Amino acid sequence: MPAENSSLTESILRRDRLIVAAGLAVLTVLSWAYIIAGAGMGMPAWHMISVSLFPHRMAEMSTPDMAHAAPSGAGHWLLVLAMWWVMMIAMMTPSAAPLILLFGRATRHAQAGGRLAPGVVPTTAFAAGYLLTWLAFSVAATVLMWALERVGAVSAASMGSRSAWLSASILIAAGLYQVSPLKHACLRVCRSPAQFLTRHWRPGSFGALLMGLEHGGFCVGCCWILMALLFVGGVMNPLWIGILAIFVLAEKLGPQGRWLAYVSGLVLLAWGVATLMA
C-alpha cells in the first residue's frame, strides 16, 4: 500500500502543470462569474453596460438622491474591496498564467536534476504572492473610490466618473504613463518571464511567495493606470472590464505588445483632450 500511495503521488506531481493550469482557469472563470453576477452590489453587471465616448455624461444623470440612497457603511466598502480584488484576479490571472506555469516547470526540472530537494512545487505560494500585490492595489483603489464619491466626482450609482475634468485627467495621465520609461521597464519584465525567474529566483515556499510579490509589483507598475481607466468607463461596466482585460493580455503576451503600449498612449492622450473640449 505505501508503494501504491507513492506511485499515486508521483503520478500527480508529474501532472502538476495540468493541475495548476486547471486551477488558474477555474479561478479566472469563478472571478468573472462573481463580477457578472454583480459582486454583491445588488445589481447584475450586465445592467451596468454602457457605450459612450464620454461616459461621464451618462454618470451625470445619476441624481444626488440616488447617491444618497447608496449604501455607505463599512460593510459596503468591504464589498467594494472584494469587488476590486476579484476583478483584478479575473483580469490579471490570464496574463500571469504563463509565468506561474513556467515557475512550476522550472522548479520541477531543478528537482529532477538534483539542484533542488524533491517535494511539492510551491506554485500556490508564488500565485498567492502575485495576487496579494493586487489586493494591496485594490485597497488603494477602494480608498480612492470612497474619496471620489465623497466629493461627488464619482457616481455611487454607476461607479464611474461624473466629471469631465476627472475623466480627462485620468485619460491624459494614462496616455503619458503608457509612453513613459517606467511603464516600459515594468512591461519588459512582464513580457520576459524566463528572465524574471533567472534574476529573481528564491528557493522554498517563502521564496516563492516573495517572488510572486515581486513580480506582482512589476505587474502593478505596468498596469495600475490602465485599471484606473475603470473610473472613466464605469468600475462595474463589464464591457469596459473585458476590453481592458483583453488589452492587458495583448500588451503582455502579444508579439507587438511594446508598440501597442505606445499607440494606446497616443489614443488616450487624444481622448483626454477631446473629453476636455467636448
Domain ranges of the chain: 2-277
- For residue 263, pLDDT over 90 is answered with yes
3-state SS string over the chain? CHHHHHHHHHHHHHCHHHHHHHHHHHHHHHHHHHHHCCCCCCCCHHHHCCCCCCCHHHHCCCCHHHHHHCCCCHHHHHHHHHHHHHHHHHHHHHHHHHHHHHHHHHHHHHHHCCCCCCCCCCHHHHHHHHHHHHHHHHHHHHHHHHHHHHCCCECCCCCCECCHHHHHHHHHHHHHHHCCHHHHHHHHHHCCHHHHHHHHCCCHHHHHHHHHHHHHHHHHHHHHHHHHCHHHHCCCCHHHHHHHHHHHHHHHHCCCHHHHHHHHHHHHHHHHHHHHHC
pLDDT in tens, 27-75: 999 999 999 888 877 777 776 777 777 777 766 555 444 444 456 688 8
- The string of pLDDT tens digits covering residues 121-171 is 788 899 999 999 999 999 999 999 999 999 988 988 778 888 899 999 999
What cell was used for 255? 508579439
On the question of pLDDT at 231 being above 90, the answer is yes
On the question of pLDDT at 261 being above 70, the answer is yes
Q: Given pLDDT bands bounded at 50, 70 and 90, which one contains residue 207?
A: very high
